[in-house]
Structure 1
């Protein structure tokens, strides 16, 4: 049964006119009401039909780029690179007209599972030619199934699906290309580097527990500890947001609870900068008193004093490749593991005797 605009209005407990205003963006609507309407659109999988939409082609020149936080350079770099490479020459099988400019729309989910589903529904409604999903996935079986179902419907309508920095969807033949980062291997090398310098009491500041990126990086860290026969103390692992404030707060807790720590690994460079700030506040020298390491190799990593030891992910290159794939490059079913490279700088050093 086809879902109508009236059905959406009833589900959201608003008038059909309000639903129309939200979807068309031509009239101000209260934020709470707008969110309720978009949630109803997503839950009912509403896609506009009728004479106006019939004028559109099976796919448009619109490309949606989903990010968790556009203010985070990790996502901003990939999104910018993808947009810059959407208009490269594409092959004859591309769903996008090869002689047209593509309009990239960056969809900032804010880490919300509901918003992720809503954006996918709205991109389906706009008959997007391609959708690029960046960064780690949310580890929730119900949400994962809902995302897979949305992507399958998009693909059935001719939308090209590209995953960038996200694990492959098992059995999802409808995904055109997957570029996944080798987070585990990168984390193993990073913690292995610290172990080689004599560190054995190593704190770890992780990202949100429900993210695949968080789990994979933490698994790599623990694999390195196990390989070296070093103790894996759960009390030395703290979870938080992928931001500077989270790093500073976690470092304060770790250093207060375990003053014998000689190193802290952060799940990304932004967290690491927060760790460094807290260490300096406590009068600790980096790396003489505390070694600090990050992940991603963001531009800020080289601006830190001392420069940050980290794991380099080729974010721009991966985003550019994702943009070209979304524009029609490559054969369907392309799967690529993007390597992670250890970059040693001044923020890590040998453990001082005594």
Structure 2
């Protein structure tokens, strides 16, 4: 149901005229009253109507692309591909190209909700959310409510590399992280590794859980005990710190699986600092197949996710130039890429 100015007035316990004055900023209003009105606006997700906003209603030229970290190639590749696809032509929702705005949340749940609110108020034509979601019931409920409001207003929603959101009309491109992680661990097991450490991402992210589940499924199927696991951010420093912890807990590790390719760089650095060779002493594997993985020495064994292709498809879905997948969700397959950083264990 659409929230009206009268609803805001009732929640703030003021007149509709006072709400209008606060929102238009053209008449003095007491600070306490203004704060009460704006709190009601936020609580109700109110989006003002009128000549100015109606021009932007779901036919605006604005598309928001939410990323955790634009400096991370995982997000940069998808955002860049989506933006390029939106500028490549096609009539889109309002005709012509769109203004793609990249919203960098820094992994903050609060920033994610703030950007969704701002995009709602701007009547964005489309919103693309990339990467895994936070596994917190309160935050998930808040995001679901925001997305439902956006969809109700006519905004096209696309989830890229993110699990589907129940009861929200969105086109979902979900990466098959579980299968990718399972294939990677099966590769190490086939080489003969039985003492495998795992450097995982943040424990409260869906991507982390799905990749770890795939890893554990492969170990369980082979009857191999799970090695030590350490959690941390998806960055190089985390790989170095976690590797130190893993080797302290299990000095005889013969392989380390990293949460992503950037973390794998930190793993390799920590191993070399201890005089260990790759893959002679310890095999190392990553995930995502970022561009630099073929240039490191040795080249990194990893799991390829088609980030550019997925981002471009998300852009077309946002424009409406590509039909939504059947059932609303398309599972994007993951592919094992074997390179020089993995080999059979010595002895």
Give the TM interval when normalised to the shorter protein: 0.7 to 0.9
How far 1:146 sits from its partner (Å)? Answer: 1.2
Match of 1:303 in 2: 295
DSSP 3-state at the match of 1:71: coil
- Aligned residues of 1:42 and 1:117 also touching (Cα < 8 A): no
Contact 2:180 2:334 in 1 (8 A): yes
Counterpart position of 2:129: 133
Q: 1:252 aligns with which of 244, 247, 261?
A: 244
User: What residue number does 2:115 align with?
Assistant: 119
Equivalent residue, structure 2, for 1:219: 213
Instruction: Evaluate the alpha carbon distance shift between residue 301 and residue 103 of structure 1 in structure 2; reply closer, same or farther with a 3 A threshold.
Output: same
What is the TM-score with the length of structure 2 in the denominator? 0.87
| Residue aligning to 2:161 | 165
Superposed counterparts of 1:230-309, under 5 Å = 230-233=224-227, 236-309=228-301
Which string of whole-angstrom CA distances, capped at 9 and with x for unpartnered residues, describes residues 25-73 of structure 1?
A: xxxxxxxxxxxxx999754524234443244344301000000111100
Alignment of 1:76-87 (within 5 A): 76-87=76-87
Q: Do the aligned partners of residues 74 and 262 (structure 1) sit closer, same or farther apart at CA in structure 2, a change above 3 Å counting?
A: same
Taking structure 1 as reference, are residues 288 and 19 closer, same or farther at Cα in structure 2, changes over 3 Å only?
farther
Q: Does 2:184 match 1:179?
A: no
1:189-208 equivalence runs, <5 A: 189-208=183-202
CA deviations on 1:99-142 (whole Å, 9 max, x unpaired) are x2200000111111111111111000000000000000111112
1:106 and 2:98 are equivalent in the alignment: no
**In the alignment, which of 134, 140, 149 is matched to residue 144 of structure 1?**
140
Q: Mind listing any 5+ residue stretches in structure 1 that lack a counterpart? A: 8-15, 21-37
The 8 Å contact of residues 234 and 263 in structure 2, kept in 1 or not, is answered as yes
Aligned to 1:52: 52
Q: CA deviation at 1:303?
A: 1.7
Residues 232-284 of structure 1, C-alpha deviations (whole Å, 9 max, x = no match): 24xx0111000000000000111122110000000100000000000000000
Structure 2 contact 89–97 (Cα < 8 Å) conserved: no
Partner of 1:24: none
Sort the Cα spacing of 1:231 and 1:56 in 2 relative to 1 into closer, same or farther, 3 A.
Answer: closer
Stretch moving more, 55-64 or 224-233: 55-64
Q: Structure 1 residues 44 and 314, CA, compared in 2 at 3 Å: closer, same or farther?
A: same
Q: Aligned partners of 2:195, 2:337: CA distance in 1, in Å?
A: 21
> Which of the pair has more CA radius of gyration?
2
Contact 1:203 1:264 in 2 (8 A): yes
1:146-188 Cα distance to aligned partner (Å, 9 max, x none)? 111111111111100001001112343x11x110000000000
Q: Give the structure-1-normalised TM-score.
A: 0.85
Partner of 2:8: 3
Deviations 1:196-243 (A, max 9, x none): 11111100000001100000000000000001110024xx01110000
Instruction: Pick one of 319, 325, 328 that aligns with 2:320.
Output: 328
CA distance in 1, matches of 2:82, 2:333: 19
Pairwise CA distance, 1:144: 1.0
Determine if contact 2:200/2:230 at 8 Å carries over to the other structure.
yes
- Shift in alpha-carbon separation, 1:57–1:342, aligned structure 2, 3 A: same
Bigger shift: 52-61 or 259-268? 52-61
